[in-house]
Amino acid sequence: MYRALSRRDAAYEGVFFTGVKTTGIFCRPTCRAKRPKLENVEFFPTIVEALHGGYRPCRLCYPMDATKPVPALVEKLRRAVDDAVEGRVTDKDLAAMNVEPSTARRQFKAYHGMTFHAYHRARRMGLALRDVKAGRLVIEVQQERGYESPSGFREAFVRVFGVPPRGAKVEDCLLARRIETPLGTMLALADAQGLRLLEFVDRRGLERELVGLRHRLKCAIVPGSNVTLEATATQLTEYFSGQRMTFYLPLAPVGSDFQQRVWAELRRIAPGRTRSYAEMAKKLGIPKAPRAVGRANGSNMLALVIPCHRVIRADGSLCGYAGGIWRKQRLLEHERKFSGLAE
C-alpha cells in the first residue's frame, strides 16, 4: 500500500485510505500532497474506519467525494465538524450558521451516502478513542469531547460488549484484541476454549455477530489478550509475510452441528486451491444441498483460519465474501504466490 501511495497509483482508488499521523488527515492513494514517511502513516479499508481512527478528510484530494465540485453546504458542514473542539455540531449550531438542519441532513446524505450525524459521531468517537489510546484519563476525554456523563461515553461500548470494562470478571469474558494486517484491521475474540471470532472490523454484521456470541456464550466481551490471541497475532503476521499458509490455533467456533461439519471441510481445502459450493456439498455427502453449504460458509466467524475465502462459483468466478470481494481476490493471489501455484 505504501508503494502504491508513493506511485499515486490510481488502481488503488477505493481499495484503501491513508491516515497521516502527523497531520491528522486521511487521503486517497492518489493525493498530490507531499509523500509522508512510512512510520507516519496507517492504512484503512473504508472511510468510516479512517474516521473512527481519529482522522479528518484531506482538503486537497477529498477522499469522501465521489464527484467534484463538493456542494458548498456539504463542505461547510464538514469544516464545522473539523473545527469543533468536541467534534460535535448540534442543530442549534447549524441554526447559528444559518443552515436549516433538515436541509443539511438531506444534502449530506445524498452526497456521501451517510448522514451528517453519523459523520460527526464517527469523528467525535474517533477523536475520543485516539485520546484514550494516547494515555489520557477516560474522565478527561469524556468531558473534553462533550459527553455529558460517563454513562453516555461508555454507551457504545456497552451496546456492543455487554458490560463496561470495570464491571466484568476476566474469567467470565471473551477477550477482544484488534490486530493490524496489510488488508485492514481485524478483531479477534478468544476465551479459555480457544479462538471464537476473527473478522475484519468493517465486515457487515460484525456487531450482530458480537451480540450473538455474547448471548450464546452468556458472557461479556472486554479488551484484553491471552495466549491464543498472542498466537493469532503472530501467525497472522507470518501468514501475510508468506512464512506460513496454514494456521495452528485452538479453535472454538460457535455453530450448529451442520455448520461445524462445513467448517471442518473448509479447513481441508489446501492453500492456493479453491472449491465450488457444489464440490463442497459432494464432499459432505449432500450433493443436492450446495445452497445450505453456502449459508454455512457465510456464517463462518473465523476468517482466514477457517478459509471460507477459498470457495468460489462453479464457473471459477468469485462470489460474495463478507470481508469484500477485493480482499478475497488478494487472499487467493497471496496464497497462490506463496504456495507455488501462481500462474
Q: Are 170 and 176 in contact (CB under 8 A)?
A: no
Which residues, in sequence order, are CB contacts of 336 under 8 Å at separation 6+? 272, 342, 343
- pLDDT (tens place) for every residue of the chain, 343 residues total: 888 899 888 767 766 899 999 998 999 988 989 999 998 998 887 787 788 777 888 988 888 876 555 677 777 887 787 777 555 677 888 888 888 888 777 777 766 666 777 676 666 666 666 666 566 666 666 666 556 566 665 665 555 445 554 444 444 578 888 888 888 888 899 998 999 999 988 777 787 888 888 888 887 777 677 899 999 999 999 999 999 999 999 999 999 999 999 999 999 999 989 999 999 999 999 998 888 998 998 899 999 999 999 998 888 788 777 778 888 889 999 999 887 654 4
Domain assignments of the chain as residue spans, ordered by start: 2-124, 159-240, 257-338
What CATH code is assigned to 159-240?
3.30.160
Q: Are 279 and 333 in contact (CB under 8 A)?
A: no
Which residues, in sequence order, are CB contacts of 144 under 8 Å at separation 6+? 85, 86, 131
As a three-state string, the secondary structure of the chain is: CHHHHHHCCHHHCCCCEEEECCCCEEECCCCCCCCCCHHHEEEECCHHHHHHCCCEECCCCCCCCCCCCCCHHHHHHHHHHHHCCCCCCCHHHHHHCCCCHHHHHHHHHHHHCCCHHHHHHHHHHHHHHHHHHCCCCHHHHHHHCCCCCHHHHCHHHHHHHCCCHHHCCHHHEEEEEEEEECCEEEEEEEECCEEEEEEECCCCCHHHHHHHHHHHHCCEEEECCCHHHHHHHHHHHHHHCCCCCCCCCCECCCCCHHHHHHHHHHCCCCCCCCEEHHHHHHHCCCCCCHHHHHHHHHCCCECCCCCHHHEECCCCCCCCCCCCHHHHHHHHHHHHHHCCCCC
Q: What pLDDT is stored for residue 67 in this prediction?
A: 52
Q: What pLDDT is stored for residue 150 in this prediction?
A: 61
Q: What pLDDT is stored for residue 242 in this prediction?
A: 92
Q: What pLDDT is stored for residue 11 in this prediction?
A: 64
Pairing of strands 25-27, 56-57: parallel
What Rg, from alpha-carbon coordinates, does the chain have?
22
Q: What pLDDT is stored for residue 270 in this prediction?
A: 93
Q: What pLDDT is stored for residue 305 in this prediction?
A: 96
Q: Which residue from 48, 57, 56 is spatially nearest to 118, judged by alpha carbons? A: 48
Query: Hey, which residues does 314 pair with through a beta bridge?
Result: none
Which residues, in sequence order, are CB contacts of 145 under 8 Å at separation 6+? 86, 87, 88, 124, 127, 128, 131, 153
Query: Hey, which residues does 25 pair with through a beta bridge?
Result: 20, 56
Q: Are 143 and 150 in contact (CB under 8 A)?
A: no
Q: What pLDDT is stored for residue 307 in this prediction?
A: 93
Query: In the CATH scheme, what architecture does the domain 2-124 have?
Result: 3-Layer(aba) Sandwich (3.40)
Active site residue 308: yes
Query: In the CATH scheme, what architecture does the domain 257-338 have?
Result: Orthogonal Bundle (1.10)
Q: What pLDDT is stored for residue 79 in this prediction?
A: 79
Q: What pLDDT is stored for residue 148 in this prediction?
A: 57
What pTM, to 2 d.p., does this model score?
0.55
Structure-block grid coordinates of residue 308: 471460507
Q: What pLDDT is stored for residue 342 in this prediction?
A: 45
> What distance in Å separates the CA atoms of residue 78 and residue 97, rounded to the nearest whole number?
13
Selecting among 31, 219, 308, 319, the annotated active-site residue is 308
Taking the CA of residue 9 as centre, how many other CA atoms within 13 Å lie in the half-sphere pointing to its CB?
13
List C-alpha distances in Å: 40 to 2, 37, 58, 60, 100: 11, 5, 16, 18, 39
Taking the CA of residue 133 as centre, how many other CA atoms within 13 Å lie in the half-sphere pointing to its CB?
11
